[in-house]
């Protein structure tokens, strides 16, 4: 009890200035009203006593409130609370309680976000290491075999060199895609938006990739597009999008073909890349745009690719205020589509 009183008296020194000013005003007012200067000493003592007791009471109340706040902050720092509703302050601190709850929620969300980023970063580093290791080890193996004497064997030397070149190209593609992803996510990738005519643009993209379809004896066609139809976007980046979507469609199509369709609306144009390939399981459609995610890992590696193509597609289209939509049925085929402003 005495210790608490000493703490209250010690704490009340912070209000000493206000205490003296308020007491002086009260004494002056009372003296002026009663007009009896003989009783000023008694009046002063009474006023000082009442004010002092009031200050002691307020000091205790404020000290208790601060202790309550300190306890809450300590509990937050020690991860004592699971949810914000567990944070409870006295009624007169309700506004502060609300502010602390908002701060707690934000901190919790920020921590969770940082943990998620750390997991993504760790997975990304692991994936990159694995993807880089595969072609590097393959190239190393072919070169070592050649140096150990196979270079003089005409039956294998050219074959091994061709395979080494193939893996070198894969490595180059992976590094280029990693650079693109890095530039997109850091905001360093510059976009050059302008209107351009769609028909000759799509036809040229299809012509460049037609040899890939011919190698698999499947068709690659672009449906007729209205002459003069223009869309707004970055031609070079959109070419990356179309190349990735068309090449993926060709890779996973064994019979039938790939078709490019354009649907015109009032303010937008929808571009579709449709195939008759193996399709994508419904429960995995939402994940195919993750970096390095592969629906069928064994098959994906057999047909090539870096595992970053669809992630790049997603980022580039988001920069165009668009998004890629996917429809797919196993054994029937897939359709990737996106909209561009007219």
Beta bridge partners of 333: 329
201 within 8 A of 208, measured Cβ to Cβ = no
Pick the CATH number of 124-186 from 2.60.40.2250, 1.10.287.130, 1.10.287.70, 2.40.50.140: 1.10.287.130
CATH 3.30.565.10 fits 194-341, yes or no: yes
Beta bridge partners of 334: 328
Query: In the chain, what are the domain boundaries?
Result: 2-80, 124-186, 194-341
Predicted pLDDT of residue 298: 45
H helical segments located in the chain: 2-12, 16-34, 40-77, 94-147, 157-186, 198-215, 235-251, 297-303, 309-319
Would you mind telling me the total number of residues written for the chain in this entry? 342
User: Could you identify the residue written with the tokens 């390939």?
Assistant: 277
Predicted pLDDT of residue 299: 45
> What share of the chain in percent tops pLDDT 70?
79
The SS3 call for residue 196 is strand
Predicted pLDDT of residue 229: 93
55 within 8 A of 12, measured Cβ to Cβ = yes
Buried (b) or exposed (e) across 290-328, using 16+ Cβ within 10 A? bbbbebeeeebeeeebbbbbbbbbbbbbebbebebeeeb
Predicted pLDDT of residue 302: 47
Can you spell out the DSSP letters for 280-292? --GGGGGGTTSTT
Reported pTM: 0.59
193 within 8 A of 232, measured Cβ to Cβ = yes
342 within 8 A of 263, measured Cβ to Cβ = no
Predicted pLDDT of residue 181: 75
300 within 8 A of 294, measured Cβ to Cβ = yes
Predicted pLDDT of residue 274: 94
Ranges in the chain, pLDDT < 70: 1-20, 22-23, 27, 30-44, 47-48, 51-52, 55-56, 59, 120, 124, 186, 294-306
Predicted pLDDT of residue 182: 76
Predicted pLDDT of residue 308: 79
């Amino acid at each position: 009890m005495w210790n608490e009183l000493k703490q209250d008296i010690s704490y009340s020194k912070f209000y000493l200035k206000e205490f003296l000013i308020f007491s002086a005003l009260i004494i002056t007012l009372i003296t002026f009203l009663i007009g009896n200067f003989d009783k000023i000493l008694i009046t002063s003592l009474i006023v000082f006593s009442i004010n002092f007791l009031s200050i002691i009471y307020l000091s205790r109340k404020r000290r208790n409130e601060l202790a309550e706040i300190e306890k809450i902050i300590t509990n937050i720092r020690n991860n004592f609370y699971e949810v914000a509703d567990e944070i409870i302050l006295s009624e007169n601190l309700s506004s502060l309680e609300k502010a602390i709850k908002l701060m707690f929620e934000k901190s919790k969300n920020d921590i969770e976000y940082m943990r998620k980023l750390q997991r993504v970063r760790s997975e990304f580093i692991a994936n990159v290491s694995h993807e880089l290791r595969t072609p590097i080890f393959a190239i190393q193996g072919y070169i070592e075999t050649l140096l150990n004497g196979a270079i003089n064997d005409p039956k294998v030397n050219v074959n091994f060199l061709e395979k080494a070149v193939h893996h070198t190209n894969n490595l180059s593609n992976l590094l280029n895609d990693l650079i693109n992803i890095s530039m997109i996510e850091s905001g360093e990738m510059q976009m050059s938006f302008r209107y351009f005519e769609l028909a000759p643009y799509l036809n040229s993209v299809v012509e460049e990739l037609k040899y890939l379809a011919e190698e698999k004896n499947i068709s690659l066609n672009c449906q007729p597009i209205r002459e003069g139809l223009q869309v707004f976007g970055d031609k070079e980046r959109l070419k990356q999008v179309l190349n990735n979507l068309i090449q993926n469609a060709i890779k996973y199509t064994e019979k039938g073909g790939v078709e490019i369709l354009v649907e015109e609306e009032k303010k937008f144009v929808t571009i579709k890349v449709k195939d008759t390939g193996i399709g994508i399981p419904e429960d995995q459609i939402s994940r195919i745009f993750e970096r390095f995610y592969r629906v069928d890992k064994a098959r994906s590696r057999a047909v090539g690719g870096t595992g970053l193509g669809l992630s790049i597609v997603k980022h580039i289209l988001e920069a165009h205020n668009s998004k890629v939509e996917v429809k797919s049925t196993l054994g029937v085929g897939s359709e990737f589509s996106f909209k561009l402003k007219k």
